Structure formats: C-alpha cells, structure tokens
Amino acid sequence: MELKITLPGGKRVKAEWNGFSVETDQPVKDGGEGTSPSPYDYFMASIGTCAGFYVLSFCQKRGIPTENITLFQRLQYAKKPDGKEFLEKIIIEIILPPDFPVKYHDAIIKVADQCAVKKTIMNPPIFDIKTLVQ
C-alpha cells in the first residue's frame, strides 16, 4: 500500500490512495483553520471505528440487528512525574439494546478486541523515514 501525502497550505495535510483522500488540519488554537480533523483525531477515530466494524460483522453474520448498537470511546489521560500528560487508557463501551442476545455479551467484547488497529498498536511496526531529492 502506498499513500501520497501532500501539503496543500496552511496547517493542512492530505493523504491520497486508491481513489480516496483524507484531509487533515490543525485546530485554530494550534495555528490551523480547523477545517478537518487533525491526524491524531483520525488515528483515535480509527480505533473506535475498527472495533465498530468487528462488532458490525459479528452481528451481520448472526442476523442480529445493529441499528441500536452504539460504541463510545473514551480517552483516559494521566500525568508523568514531570507533569506531562500521556494517554494512559482507551476505553471502549459497547452499548447494546435490551433485546441483544445475552449469550453473545462476552463474545461481542472479544470480537471488538480483535480490531486490527489495536493489534497494530500492540505490536508496533518499525518506522523507516528518509529523504529523497527528485
């Protein structure tokens, strides 16, 4: 997979691949115009949407309606001894409707835990960053 990253101006950055594009910006407080989510926002959203996809697939395979299922992702921060904040925990709550089959309550947690984004975070890749002059 190859993504083309361009810098269209201001604090905006754009990624393009396979006919898709994702545009990012920084919040106004950080010098951007706030026209798009920041790269970090997209990263955080990728975790919850990935878990959501696994929940969706699980339910679709079993004919379980999904319109009343919601996931909430919360970020829990802590402070290091030097006072700097860091992301300590990502909490994902799966809100199920009353008619969701009880026999699948534990399974839906296990399914969400299979998220490919989470697995990548847990086993991070090596980054190889270099410059080329063309």
Tell me the C-alpha distance between 62 and 96, whole Å. 15
Question: Is 6 within the bounds of a domain?
Answer: yes
Looking at the fold, whether 17 and 76 belong to one and the same domain comes out as no
Mean pLDDT, rounded, of the chain: 97
Whether the model pTM is above 0.85: yes
Q: What percent of the chain has pLDDT over 70?
A: 100
Number of domains present in the structure of the chain: 2
Looking at the fold, whether 71 and 20 belong to one and the same domain comes out as no
Looking at the fold, whether 21 and 74 belong to one and the same domain comes out as no
Looking at the fold, whether 31 and 48 belong to one and the same domain comes out as no
Q: In what order do the strands lie in the sheet with 12-17?
A: 4-9, 12-17, 20-24
Question: Is 72 within the bounds of a domain?
Answer: yes
pLDDT at 53: 98
Looking at the fold, whether 107 and 51 belong to one and the same domain comes out as yes
pLDDT at 13: 98
Looking at the fold, whether 79 and 31 belong to one and the same domain comes out as no
The pLDDT tens digits for 43-74 are: 999 999 999 999 999 999 999 999 999 999 99
The pLDDT tens digits for 66-118 are: 999 999 999 999 999 999 999 999 999 999 999 999 999 999 999 999 999 99
- Burial code of 46-69, b = ≥16 C-beta within 10 A, e = fewer? bbbebbbebbbebbeeeebeeeeb
Looking at the fold, whether 28 and 48 belong to one and the same domain comes out as no
pLDDT tier at 38, thresholds 50, 70, 90: very high
pLDDT at 32: 96
pLDDT tier at 22, thresholds 50, 70, 90: very high
Looking at the fold, whether 59 and 24 belong to one and the same domain comes out as no
Looking at the fold, whether 77 and 90 belong to one and the same domain comes out as yes
Question: Is 63 within the bounds of a domain?
Answer: yes
Looking at the fold, whether 42 and 31 belong to one and the same domain comes out as no
* Residue range(s) defining the domain that contains residue 3: 1-36
